[in-house]
Amino acid sequence: MASITFKNNPVTLLGNEVKVGDTAPDFTVLANDLSEVTLSNSKGKVRLISVVPSIDTGVCDAQTRRFNEDASKLDNVEVLTISVDLPFAQKRWCASNGLENVQTLSDHRDLSFAEAYGVHIKELRLLARAVFVVDANDKVTYVEYVSEATNHPNYEAAIEAAKAAQ
């Protein structure tokens, strides 16, 4: 299992660690309108899955903006930003930041994504910061579990992986 810290304190990750080459596990999360979203909803596209502890923090805000800005320039790439924030909070964040095309998804109900991708921080019931790229055939082509949850991911490597997965 990946080893991470949160504010320099070790935390326990629950779920199944995902590795490059794996078939991407399915999951069920909630869109801002409370409808269910699964991995298969974006089948046939490259998915850049940006995982953040909470959309209302500075690093998470920057990560969400950066991936959506950079990936929006790529054909056939869909960015899914997943946190355990309530769908209402995610919708408010998008509206207050003037971001209409950002797809924020909530894993608060079942921790379905968290368990399937090994990002459930047991001590905090938050998601660990991570990035996954899944190709159009549902193969995982890139994985980054950020070792310190308050740090930024490697944006350039993830965007390059999304380009290469097309």
Quote the pLDDT of residue 91: 86
Q: Is the dihedral of CA 81, 61, 140, 1 positive or negative?
A: negative
Quote the pLDDT of residue 101: 64
Quote the pLDDT of residue 47: 96
Task: Specify the DSSP element, H or E, that contains 157.
Answer: helix 155-164
Quote the pLDDT of residue 125: 97
Q: Are 151 and 67 in contact (CB under 8 A)?
A: no
Quote the pLDDT of residue 2: 87
Mean pLDDT by 10 residues, the chain (166 residues): 92 97 98 96 95 93 90 89 94 78 90 98 97 97 97 97 94
Identify the active-site residue in 18, 49, 60, 77: 60
Quote the pLDDT of residue 98: 73
Quote the pLDDT of residue 100: 63
For 41-79, give the DSSP string: GGTTSEEEEEE-S-TTSHHHHHHHHHHHHHHTTSTTEEE
Could you tell me which residues are beta bridge partners of residue 132? 49, 143
Instruction: State the pTM of this model.
Output: 0.95
- Judge whether 60 counts as a catalytic residue: yes
